[in-house]
Amino acid sequence: MSLLLDNDFHHRIDLFEPGDKTALVCMDVPEVQRLVVENLTEIDYKIHTGLFLEDILLKLQTHTYDVVVVAEHFGASTRENNPILEASQALPNHQRRAQMFILVGSGVHTDSEMEAWAASVDLVVSLADVPNLKHVVRRAVLRRDSFYKPLIEAYASKGLI
C-alpha cells in the first residue's frame, strides 16, 4: 500500500444521476481519503470529496447525500467542535434523516452505538477499520433502512414526504 503525496490529494466530483447512491467524503488526510473513496466506490457509491470547510458546508446545503463520511479531527477540530458535525445538526430533519453520517477517527470504536449517539452521528468507525469500511457501511445502511422504513411509510401515507 503506497502513501499518497500531498500533490496527489485530489478533489473528486462524480456526476450524479437519479437513483445513484451518493457520498460526501470529508477527510483531510490523503491516505485515509483514498481508502474511504476506494471502499465506497467498490459498493457503487458516486462520490464528492471535500477538502475545505466552506466547500463541504455548501455541498451539504445543496445536496442530500446518502452517506457523509467525516474525519473526527477535520481541520484540526475536536469531536466536540467539529464544524461539519455541528452543521449536520442544523440540517432540516427530513434531510438529516435521509443521510447517514459516519465519523471516522482514532478515538472511536467501530460500530459503538453509544459513541455514535454521543457524537450525534449514525455510525462511528475506528481508523484501524477504514480498510474494511465497505463491509461496515453496507451493514449499517441496511440496519438504518430497516429501522426508518416504518417511519417513512407513515409519513408517505400522510402525504408528508
Q: Is residue 97 part of a domain?
A: yes
Each of the 161 residues of the chain gets a pLDDT tens digit; together they read: 334 444 444 667 677 888 899 999 999 888 999 999 999 999 999 999 987 889 899 999 888 999 999 999 888 888 888 999 999 988 888 788 889 999 999 989 999 999 999 999 999 999 999 999 999 999 999 998 888 888 878 888 888 76
- Spatial distance between the Cα atoms of 52 and 117, rounded to a whole number of angstroms: 26
Q: Is residue 88 part of a domain?
A: yes
pTM: 0.85
Provide the total of helices (H) and of strands (E) in the chain, helices listed first: 6, 5
Partners of 25 in the beta sheet?
A: 49, 69
Domain that holds residue 90: 6-157
**Residue 20 sits in a domain of what CATH number?**
3.40.50.2300
- Spatial distance between the Cα atoms of 65 and 99, rounded to a whole number of angstroms: 6
Amino acid at 143: R
